[in-house]
A and B are shown apart, each in its own frame.
Chain A
Amino acid sequence: MSVAFALIGSFGLFLLLPTLVIAWGSFTTKAGDLTLANFTSINQPYLVKAFVQSVSISAVSALVGAFAGALLAYAVVTGNPRGILRRVITSASGVLAQFGGVTLAFSFIATLGFTGIVTIFLKQHGIDIFPGGTVWLYEVSGVTLVYCYFQIPLMVLVFLPALDGVRPQWREATESLGGSTWHYWRYVAGPLLAPSFLGCMLLLFANAFSAYATAAALISQGSPIVPLAISNLLTSEVGRAKPGLAQALALAMIVIVLAVMVLYAALQRRTSRWLR
């Protein structure tokens, strides 16, 4: 019983307390008076741009991850359910979905960086993927591509159960009523899978929005996305003088991710109506 209290105590201290610190700090000045100044000072151009770019990276990688992942999941689910291919892809997805951060960034630098293996290969065949000299891998577009690397496996993992719930009887029923593949997808499987697909896409969005380590390893200067803006504020003199700003940004992030996750849970509940 005392163990349980120790657990709850450590939780309170290391999860709730920091959250309270953020919540309290973002609404107060350094002196302790209540204020909304921290939130209004988010209105600077570079921070607004950071939010816009964060949202766009998350949205694009979520879309690409959702569609590619759904295709891969469908390719897996149409095979032998007990076969080795399915188990290999599920395990590989489990491993790759956690593969992020510094090691992932480095693997892409080794592939598409200035001296990367694919860059050199393409250059030897006359294709220069960095026209103009700027290496786009270290900018927003590069980060988006790298994010897809863990978004696709995550999509496979979370969407596979929904695809498993689609029963072959529905396909047979459609065919016996004279429907074609198009009819099946448009009127039967599509509407049934849509809530889960949307929900999983939201999950991917939240995942990309919260990601920090990968971008930190790729982008060494500037604050093009919100997590990097936060980290720059935490490690700079200016930022340390105004802790409220970093806290306001952190609170904004928490609220956004929370909202997306709530929607995701609601959509999953909707899915479970038919696809248990």
Chain B
Amino acid sequence: MSKARRLKLRIFRTAVFLVIGAFFLVPLFAMFEFSTRGNSLTSPRTLDAWAQIVKVPELAKAITASLELAAITSIAMLVLILPTMVWVRLRLPTLNRVIEFICLLPLVVPAIALVVGMVPLYRWISINISDSILTLSFAYLILVMPYTYRTLDAGLAAIDLKTLTEAARSLGAGWGTVMVRVVVPNMSSAILNACILSVALVLGEFTFASLLAFENVQVAILYVSFVSAGTSIAVALASLLFTFALLLVLSFVGRPRERVAAAEEAIFTAPAQVGEWGMRA
């Protein structure tokens, strides 16, 4: 590469990073700034808005509900998807494409459209089963499916599933033992990644909760904003930082080889998985 071209490239890259970097960092910084404002433009910075977070009762209730939902969804996701994927991989490899397609389906249906069909379903559930917010975990299970399927699939592909399970079975292990003591420990980072993804998704979900009349953390943030702008932005920033931290842990967890694989796997590009499916179709 010639010197002139290298210089032009350098200038181009610096300009792009500066401009686009500013566009992305300024709103984040603005949230910090806004939530620490005093009463007037000249009064000193204060953490009042943050202190208010714990004083608003419905906020605490909503945060608890969201965390419970996140836990339930992650566990249900693991218990349902992982055995199915193992079974399909071992016994019915031809069904792989079908399962993959099914797990990608939720990506093609917009949440706001799907929720229209869920309203009568949830009306029935609230009358006949329970009207607790925790019933949302069924819907969230569908929501997290594409993302976690991809993660777990990458984890399963990285281990020699057939040999491991055959060895365990020939030593007398039942399927339960195989799953719990053979498969899971070998995929620990993929499983952790899948759980972190589900938690992040559930904590950030708004559409289903608000239109099915439940109050999760995002809905609560919106309500609080009608009362106090500073506090709502403080909570929003807190939930954002929490999710950021979770997702950043994602790119650092696991053994070095898996870590690189996970990062390059572009787990986050769930919509892009449709394209990948198309590429291999």
Contact = CB atoms under 8 A, between A and B. Distances in A.
Contacts of A102: 206, 218, 221-222, 236
Contacts of A160: 266
A266 B278 contact: yes
A109 B225 CA distance: 11
Interface string B64-80: 00000000000000011
B279 A227 contact: no
A224 B278 CA distance: 33
Contacts, number: 264
B106 interface: yes
Contacts of B279: 265, 268-269, 271-272
Contact of B16 (A72, A109, A149, A209): A72
Interface string A20-63: 11100100000000000000000000000000000000000000
A258 B240 CA distance: 30
Interface size class of A (residues with CB under 8 A): 35 or more
B5 interface: yes
A149 B27 contact: yes
B31 A106 contact: yes
Contacts of B27: 104, 107-108, 110-111, 149
Q: Secondary structure of the B side of the interface?
A: helix
A199 interface: yes
Interface of A, secondary structure class, is helix
B274 A265 contact: yes
A209 B106 CA distance: 15
Given A71-B16, A247-B116, A98 B80 contact: no
A159 B111 CA distance: 24
A218 to B, nearest CB: 11
Contacts of A97: 268-269
Interface of B: 5, 9, 12-13, 16-17, 20, 23-24, 26-31, 33-35, 41, 79-81, 83-84, 87-88, 102, 105-121, 138-139, 141-142, 145, 200-201, 204, 206-207, 210-211, 218, 221-222, 225, 229, 232-233, 236-237, 239-240, 243-244, 247-248, 251, 263, 266-269, 271-272, 274-279, 281
B92 to A, nearest CB: 10
Interface of A: 1, 3-4, 6-8, 10-11, 13-15, 17-22, 25, 68, 71-72, 75, 78-79, 87, 90-104, 106-111, 115-118, 120, 149, 152-154, 157-158, 160-161, 181, 199, 203, 206-207, 209-210, 212-213, 216-217, 227, 230-231, 234-235, 243, 246-247, 249-251, 253-254, 257-258, 261, 264-269, 271-272
A70 to B, nearest CB: 10
B271 A207 contact: yes
Given A7-B80, A212-B112, A20 B221 contact: no
Given A7-B80, A22-B117, A14 B31 contact: no
A115 B30 CA distance: 11
